[in-house]
Structure 1
Amino acid sequence: MAAASAFYDIVDLASHTAVSSAFVGRGGELTVLDGALRRTSAGEPSAVLVGGEAGVGKTRLLQEFLAMAEEAGAVTALGNCLEVGAEDLPFTPLVTALRRLHRDLGTDLERAAEGSEGQLASLLPDLGGPGHTPDDEYGRAQLFQHTVNLFEKLAGDRALVLAIEDLHWSDRSTRELLAYLIRTLHRSRVTVVATYRTDDLHRGHPLRPYLAELERLQGVQRMELERLARPEVERLLAGLLDTSEPDHRLVGWIYERSEGNPFLVEELAYSYHDKEAVGLDNSLHDILLVRVEALPEPAQQVIKVAAGGGSSVEHVLLSAVLDLPEDDLFDALCAAVSAHVLVPEAESESYGFRHALMRAAVLDDLLPGEHSRINRRYAMTLESHPGLVPAHQWAGRLASYWYLAHDPARVLPAALKASREARRGNAFAEQVRMLERALELWEQVPDEVLRELRRYDWPDDAYPTAVEGDDRTADAGRLHFVDVLADATVAASRSGEPERSVRFARMASRVIDETAEPERAAWFWLQRARAAHSQGDTGEEESERARRLLEGRPPTAVQADVLSQISLGGALTHPSREHIAIGERAVRIAREVGASAVELHAQVTLGMLCVFLGEIEAGLALQREVLARATEIASPYLQARLHVNLSAHYEQLGRSSEAVEIAREGLATAHRNRLNRLSRARILGNLVEPLLAQGRLQEAEAALTSSLEDTGGMQRGDDLNRLHAELALLRGDLAGAIDGLARIPSSQQQQPQRMLSRADLAVRIAARSGRFADARNELLTAIEDEIPAGMDHYAWPLLVHGAVAEADSRGLPDADVDRGQVLERIRREAQRLSRAVPLYEGWAYMLDGELARAEGRNTPEVWVRAVEALRPTGRPYPLAEALFGAAVAYAATGAREEAGWLLREAEEQARKRGDTELLREVTALAERARLPLDPSLFAEAPAAPTEAPDPSATLDRPDRSGT
């Protein structure tokens, strides 16, 4: 009989041999799912995460819900995560679900996918798309966005349910795409349901933080199925044993043994009913094998081979591996299906086990070496007949089968092929896993196998290729090993794991002869520099090492890239004219060798340097010009870099409204193109900063609240931790501010802007806490070395707040010691800073006022100049501080009217900013100086003293420490 005909005969047999019609104890959970579907039908997308231990009934609940949804007119699609090679087969459940949708919807799905076939090729290969999506971060972004567009179109006029089973076996790419769908389908009639096993989630399982972050999203519910109570077990047994009242003693025995687990209830009932009570006193392992051991030997052999092939095995593959006569195979499969051990799946023409627990018991019962021999048979069959499995799974499954067969020489080429497939599918995490597997086995592979390997598409445009013919030399194994490390270095970076990227690059550095292969060695040092930069370090040492390796050599893309990175490192640490010259050289070399991407990035860095070195408008114009080019050529990561740069520049220059506008534009681009977590976190930080400066605290808090969600669950970076602390400080939550500060490393190896920003926060928190000695230490540590050029935006507030702490601590025990030296150190640093824009000018006058206050002098006119300089910025910060400083100075001279008006405006700006502490200080000063904050009461205020005030007198600023 034909294979297809035999399979569907077995499917027909299975439809007449259901285990039980009883569905008990899940009414509440079914109601939750029904409610989610109703909300979806009304246009509100939803997601339900269903957890529970193995055998508790997740699959049965899902089946009931999907049937109910279909009766209500919804379209449903189910995809299963596979156990074999689970983390090596990217997007498998989504591919399965979309194939089912294609089968059910036909031309409707094809119309919805029209124009996106190439971008969707890795998920919908059946459509025959050209698959031209680039295998980089942008290609991944396109895949995610086009998938969202597809679901939006399919659910335009009907509810659609996407169900994913066994999420605990999912690959990282599937998890990330599923999370993106849940976050992005804001107005679509889509319900996502995913099941997972709670007893599989060990402490380090990647699903644990993933589920926690998803649960925070709007429209996401999470529920866990409990075991059945005794009355529910009794009802289930009544259905299984076909009796209205099962024996109470039997119910008690089974309830005690199963502890209410529905799958175990079924297996115990089977043991009792069909095997005359055999199994009630046996171990769980024996109970799970009762069905198998009751079958004829051929059926048992089929079940063992099926178990070795994975949680699901295609009929044609299983047939080929078993190589039995057709009739014998058919009889054995029928017996396994009739006994409810194997379950046929019509859509994929495959078999799975009725439950994973049963498959685990079968595998555990195999003889030593039997599992590896079964996997060898699968691998050899797949090598000879690739068409037996879906094309997108072939490489990954072949590599997994050879790996489980313990054959390194066969695993290596298969794993490398699977890694290339993963990269082409933009599944970088899975690519890294396969490359790690290859590297792990490298030393176990014979040299002749290594020499037979062929190089493949390079991981990076600038990666230096070997000399022609080198891949056939005796040294080929080492050369190929380095190539694999290069691929892994880039893949880890693209998957958002800079630490792993550095680890691979270090491995390469240990095996490369830098004298013989300077280009390749420099390329790896460059990757290490980039990884360091992405983690907030300078990467300067790594970049310089790469440059030294290339000195005096002909121009290459690597050389241009290294020079560009050095220029960037300088811009972020100690910008100078020398770094402009280095950047200009990088641009020239990049143009000469045709490295356009390197050229554009080098130009961005030149724009940054111009801004930092005082050529502000020229630098901004250059970056806006490159942004236009990046938008024109659809380069989202270059766009993201420019959005980060420009928003930061505008905020640093006091142009907060423009900073908010460009940051929001960048965030929209990042979402649209599904950029990586780091890019999104940086843009978010650059949005929050100007929002805080403008007093738009609710918007800033909303952005910070969404930061964990938006960045896919990553830990908050230093910038976001600092901004959380800033917000807490504004609201008077000193403990929250201290907690946020504690999360930020204090190392001076950080980029200067991060180090200075952290120091400014630390100075203010220490002073607010009454720890003035700590405030002084934080300040002096931060300015121990000269503040680099271009850091004016970060340096001015640090110096001002350091001076505030010195002024506020006047007269306290031991606080006056060495104050003169500290104030002089502050003055020296201030003389080196720019006053080129109104914001800097305002800070400079504020510093003069605080230094005078720290020395016991009174300078109202300086504070007035600060106010006049800051008003044009349109920001309440630091205008509110300047107004308050002016009010303090005028009140000390007895100029009550001037002090009153300034204090009332300070209160207005402090309220606009939401500055709780400054409002407290304003109120305290008003009470002490008898200055009414309500303008209508000013005329009734007590008259000023008739005695002329002492010009040298001061009115102490209210003590911020509260002491």
Structure 2
Amino acid sequence: MQTSSPLLIGREGDLESLRTAVVDSRGGATRVVAVSGEAGIGKTRLVAEFIAGVPADTIVLRGQCVDLDRDAPPYAPIVAPLRALAAEIGESALFEAAGPARDALAVLLPELATIGASSDSSDRPPAQPRPSSAQGPSGGEQRSASYLYDAVAAALENVARSRPLVVIIEDLHWADQATLGLLRFLVRVLERARILLVVTFRSDELGRGHPLRAWLPELDRNARVSRRELPRLNKRQVRQLSSALRGVPLDAHDLAVVFQRTDGVPFFIEELLCDFVSAEAFPDTLRDILLARYETLSDPTQRLLRLLAAGGVRVEHELLAAVSDASPDAIDDAAREAVLANVLVVDDTAYAFRHALVREAIHEELLPGERMRFHTAYAQALEDRPGAPGVDSTAISYHWMAAHNLTAAFQSSLTAMAEARASYANATAARMGERALELWEQVPDAETLAGRTRVALLGETSYILRNAGESDRAILLIDEAIAGSSADEPEQFARFLRDKASFLANVGHTGSIELLRQALDVLEGSPRSVLRANVLGELAARLMLAARFADAVATADRAFAEAEAVDSRARMSVAVNMRGISRLSLGEIDAGLADLALAGELSEGNDSARLRYWVNESDAMYLLGRFDDAIRIAESGAERARLRGVERTSGVILMSNVIAPLFALGQTRRANEILDRALELDPPIGFSAHLQLQKLQATLRGGDVSGAERLLRTWRAALSLQFRIDAQSRLGFATIAAEIALASGDIALAWREASVIVSPEHRTFPAYDLPLLVVAARVLGAARAGGVDLGVDLAAGGESSPVDPDEIEGRLRSALAAVSAWPTAPVFVALFEAELGGPDHAGSDCALWEAAVERCTAPGVPAPFEPYARLRLAEALAASGERAAARLRADEARVAAERIEMGLIVTQVADLERRVGLVRLPGGRDSTEGATRSVEDELTDRERQVLALIAQGLSNRQIAEQLFISAKTASVHVSNILRKTNTTSRTEAAFLARSFAHVSS
């Protein structure tokens, strides 16, 4: 009887998908196939069947993720394919194929370091590098992940020019975050290479917070990727599989038992049917099924399998010989028996379990003494083989922990921490640092072993956590470090205070400015230093974000002088960067841009300073209306941030700076794709706030008002934290929240959102004040048109002071005057004047809207402004009785809105046409008058009287006084009017009343 089915059953379509993908990739179009399903569902069998049919000229590379609890060695499933590729084409050829960043490959393959050291770059043949902004490492610069990622991508791409590649990475659910980061990069950048990448993972292992979950939506959006989720077999397929295994069909009873006990999982079916004759002998549990073959083996073979299970799914023969106390012949005999029993398979120079589920079940059989001895043997053997393939300090730490040797686990965790940092695997480094901290009190003389104090390790680990995007956790550790420090060690103490200031800002908490000033006090009297320059630069940044621009400039001057004194170009760059963006916001445009340019020059060679330059330079270009420049600069920065492993922090800010100008250029679809991808990274609030504001605005402009309201309710609490430290976020939120309230018909709420612009605490911030001033003017105009009471004016005396629209307009105009010198102000001023124009001061002046349309079609103006201005012009024209012109402008507004997928304006144009009949009948006849009269005819005489008073801006109480009726009766009439005219607010009804009057005239 077969031990596994000779036929691939229930997976025919999946196999065909893989075969199609390899054909496409051989034609020069990179393809990715992600195969998922629960444990035992047949992922590995599908891949094996596919590999058997791959053309002979193809190089097939396989990598296996390691199941070592949470201690997967960084890049482990990438190293094996690269090492196999080196064996296939030669180490020197692989090294040369990696292009300009070739030296970085030694991070993954240390054996290549000797090639790099012995090679003269002038003698190297010109490899064909993948286009990249990254340059090879030079001088004493520390290599960043960008070089490593570029090297791997270039190596695969250049090799694939000669021979097609199939790269298979299995069990991605066990992958470390560094591996996932590299794979994400490869999927994104390899577009026209003869490469097929196949990844497999257990979908039932992806619990909440699993790092792979954030990648899956990105894969789904990539046109080069196909997803194949393998389902369980149905009863018909189970019958086919059982027939293939046994040679004869099962009877109905046995088939029902097999189907019930295995749930249609192919591996369980094979294990069950290959070892048992009838249903009466079938094991009762899945665990019994998994261990059935193991329990039939001899004692020496069972012991060997238990030893192998402690080592993982795959163990090299050389390592197995080192950890086993059996003779070589005994090992061979036991291994042969396990292979013949189909429990193990031979994988090149290693033994691997036929299925990870079997390994897991056998590992659970280990007795405490065995567990300790076996894991100790593995740890010692790995330590004795430094630099050998597969040897990693993370794995050594895992084995020492499993063996309960805490001192050895402590030391190996610190080594693994350093190795992970060197290979840019921040998540792994942080986990190893936290493990060492947990063991500290249990290890004798830990400080001597660690070569640092526990406080220093706390600070170091907290900083790594921050780089891994775990700022909340970082704050807990840095607080402990600060509590254990004092001013007696000023540099360390000041550094911790500075770090906490950064971590707090990342999660939107206040206190950063005070902590930085405390750090400066601690450093008072110390010699000039890079640290003091750093603290001053960070303080300037915090002051800038709080819109305290004059203070920021003065502090940045001090930071620059300090950095210059210690010859730190990186800190000089940051200082002049903060000064430049602050000067820009003070209206010193030329001086600000000159400072930013200098920051760019000084940042060369330092990734951190360079990223900050890209952030502020791209932001400046966007705020000045230079959208193409903003995108170009921000995209360069976002790419570098991702390669450095800080995609969830600095990278998110730069992605935001790509998204905003894309929306401004009307490239809505692309902007939304990048926005959704950035949000999936789940960054801390200090980095995600701008993304959330962009998502709110995109949702509203897309026409989903209720969706925007839901998101606003969901995010308001977290965003409110960021408002306390970031004026940009505060003003941006007020703008979009007021727009959402207006779209929902709640004018009073819209004013409460927008009124921050006239609050006593407001600090002038031109680029962000201007959009908010326009929205505030729009709210005020709508309130006047609809007779809406805006509530109380808290800034003018609290609850006893009702809002005076004329007083508010005066304060808005004063705020506008303070920012009208900003380079992009003319379009905002035109919109502001139009919103408050006309005899009613409510936006009814057609000439002002004509002027606004003209401004909105000028270069450098955000694309969404044009359809809005055209719609408002159409409304004003309709209200003044110019129906033909109104219809034309409404059509123009619709076309402009549809061009940039601005569904809100499209809907509002349709609503305008419905309300006042701006439609064409067949044959081109204008139907405005007939449509308008048909609506008016629905109203009673009394309702027409009430509608006329609504148009004058009267409240229900005032209407009641005018018509000598009760306020309740007036309210009933208003409700009837809104229902009959199909309007949603008093503002719309007032507008409709004016159109009635013009039609009648």
| TM-score, with structure 2 as normaliser | 0.80
Residue matched to 2:449? 452
Alpha carbons 2:675, 2:695 under 8 Å: kept: no
- Residues 660-679 of structure 1 show CA distances to partners (whole Å, capped at 9, x for unaligned) of 45445545666777762333
Please report how far the alpha carbon of residue 215 of structure 1 lies from its aligned counterpart in structure 2 after TM superposition. 2.6
- Equivalent position of 1:819 in the other structure: 803
Q: Which amino acid aligns with 2:350?
A: S
CA displacement 1:170-216 (0-9 Å, x = unmatched): 11111221122112211112211122223433344333343344233
Residue 522 (str. 1) matches residue 526 (str. 2)? no
Q: How does 1:180-579 map to 2 (within 5 A)?
A: 180-230=185-235, 232-237=237-242, 240-241=245-246, 243=247, 253-272=257-276, 279-346=281-348, 349-383=349-383, 385-387=384-386, 390=388, 393-446=391-444, 448-455=445-452, 479=453, 481-512=454-485, 514-535=486-507, 539-579=512-552
Aligned 8 A contact 1:58 1:195 in 2? yes
> Residue 819 of structure 2 is aligned with which of 806, 819, 834?
834
Q: Quick one: which of 562, 567, 576 aligns to 1:603?
A: 576
Q: Is the contact between residue 569 and residue 602 of structure 2 (CA under 8 Å) also seen in structure 1?
A: no
Mean Cα deviation higher: 883-892 or 186-195: 883-892
Matched residue type, 1:706:
I
Closer/same/farther in 2, CA of residues 610 and 361 from structure 1, 3 Å limit: same
Aligned to 1:50: 35
One-letter code of the match for 2:451? R
Deviation at 1:82, TM superposition (A): 1.2
Tell me if the contact between 1:307 and 1:359 (Cα under 8 Å) persists in the aligned partners. Answer: yes
The Cα of 1:645 is off from its aligned counterpart by 1.7
Residue 674 (structure 2) pairs with residue 706 (structure 1) = yes
In the superposition, relative to structure 1, how do residues 750 and 738 fare at CA in structure 2: closer, same or farther (>3 Å)? farther
2:488 partner letter: A
Contact in 2 for aligned 1:891/1:955 (Cα 8 Å): no
Structure 1 residue aligned with 2:740: 765
Tell me the secondary structure at the aligned position of residue 404 of structure 2: coil
- Return the offset for 1:94: 0.8
- Alpha-carbon shift at residue 168 of structure 1 (Å): 1.7
2:617 aligns to what? Answer: 646
> SS at the partner of 2:201?
strand
8 Å contact 2:874–2:886 — kept in the other structure?
yes
Could you tell me which residue of structure 2 aligns to residue 754 of structure 1?
A: 729
In structure 2, distance between residues paired with 1:112 and 1:845:
58
Cα 1:929–1:555, aligned 2, differ >3 Å: closer, same or farther?
same
- Per the alignment, do residues 69 and 931 of structure 1 end up closer, same or farther by CA in structure 2, a change over 3 Å counting? closer
**TM-score normalised to the size of structure 1?**
0.83
Report the counterpart of residue 58 of structure 2 in structure 1: 74
SS in 1 for 2:496: helix
Residues 24-63 of structure 1: pairs in structure 2 closer than 5 A? 24-25=8-9, 26-63=11-48
Are the counterparts in 2 of residues 86 and 170 from structure 1 also a CA contact under 8 Å?
Answer: no
- What's the CA shift for 1:861? 7.9
Find 1:102's aligned residue among 62, 65, 86.
86
Q: Structure 2 regions of 5+ residues with no counterpart?
A: 118-135, 792-801, 930-948, 954-982, 990-1001
Asked if 1:83 corresponds to 2:58, the answer is no
* Greater length-normalized contact order (CA 8 Å, ≥ 6 residues apart): 1
Query: What is the CA-CA distance between 1:650 and the residue it aligns to?
Result: 2.8
SS at match of 1:117: helix
What's the CA shift for 1:806?
1.9
1:778 aligns with 2:778: no
* Residues in 2 aligned to 1:900 and 1:230: alpha-carbon distance in whole angstroms: 63
Q: CA deviation at 1:954?
A: 14
- Report if the CA contact (8 A) 1:97-1:162 is conserved: yes
Answer whether contact 1:22 1:236 (CA < 8 A) is retained. no
Question: Which residue of structure 1 lines up, in the alignment, with residue 798 of structure 2?
Answer: none
CA distance in 2, matches of 1:417, 1:721: 39
1:767 Cα shift? 1.9
The alpha-carbon deviation at position 221 of structure 1 amounts to 2.0
Partner deviation per Cα, 1:812-854 (whole Å, 9 max, x = no partner): 4651663326615733751662221353244345435545669
The answer as to whether partners of 2:310 and 2:374 remain within 8 angstroms in 1 is: yes
| Runs (5+) with no aligned partner, structure 1 | 1-16, 456-478, 943-952
Distance 1:882 1:874 in 2: 16
Letter in 2 for 1:836: A
Deviation (angstroms), 1:728: 3.5
Measure the CA separation in 1 of the matches of 2:179 and 2:255: 42
Question: Using the alignment, how far apart are the partners of 2:289 and 2:643 within structure 1?
Answer: 52
Percent identity, aligned pairs only, is 31
2:959 counterpart residue number: none
Distance 1:899 1:955 in 2: 20
Instruction: Report the Cα distance in structure 1 between the residues aligned to 2:767 and 2:230, rounded to whole angstroms.
Output: 54
**1:279–1:588: structure 2 CA closer, same or farther, 3 Å change rule?**
farther
Aligned counterpart, 1:800: 774
| Residues 567, 579 of structure 1: 8 Å contact kept | yes
Mapping of residues 142-181 of structure 1, within 5 Å: 142-181=147-186
Q: Deviations over 1:454-481 (max 9, x none)?
A: 25xxxxxxxxxxxxxxxxxxxxxxx2x1
Q: RMSD of the alignment, in Å?
A: 4.1
CA displacement 1:508-548 (0-9 Å, x = unmatched): 12222x22223212212212222333445663233233233
1:560 to partner: Cα distance: 1.0
Larger CA deviation: 368-377 vs 791-800: 368-377
Whole-angstrom distance in 2 between the partners of 1:310 and 1:171? 16
Q: Give how far 1:707 is off.
A: 3.0
Equivalent AA in structure 1 for residue 425 of structure 2: A
8 Å CA contact 2:505–2:725 kept in 1: the answer is no
Is the 8 Å Cα contact of residues 786 and 829 (structure 1) preserved in structure 2?
Answer: no
Aligned 1:652-671 pairs, distance under 5 A:
652-664=623-635, 666-667=637-638
Aligned residue number for residue 690 of structure 2: 719
Q: Indicate the larger mover: 413-422 or 295-304.
A: 295-304
CA distance in 2 between counterparts of 1:85 and 1:137 reads 31
Report the Cα offset of residue 123 of structure 1: 2.5
For residues 628-686 of structure 1, give each alpha carbon's deviation from its aligned partner in whole angstroms, at most 9, with x where no partner exists.
444xx344443443333223223323444544454455456667777623334323332
Query: How far does residue 888 in structure 1 lie from its aligned partner after superposition?
Result: 7.5
Deviations 1:132-174 (A, max 9, x none): 9699997112211221112211222443111111112111111
CA-to-aligned-CA distance 1:251-289 (integer Å, 9 cap, x gap): 55544433433322333334326xx99952454433433
Q: Give 1:41 shift.
A: 1.9
C-alpha deviation, 1:395, in angstroms: 1.3
User: Contact 1:386 / 1:394 at 8 angstroms: preserved in 2?
Assistant: no
**Residues of 1 paired with 2:208 and 2:342: CA distance?**
33
| Structure 2: distance between partners of 1:569 and 1:121 | 39
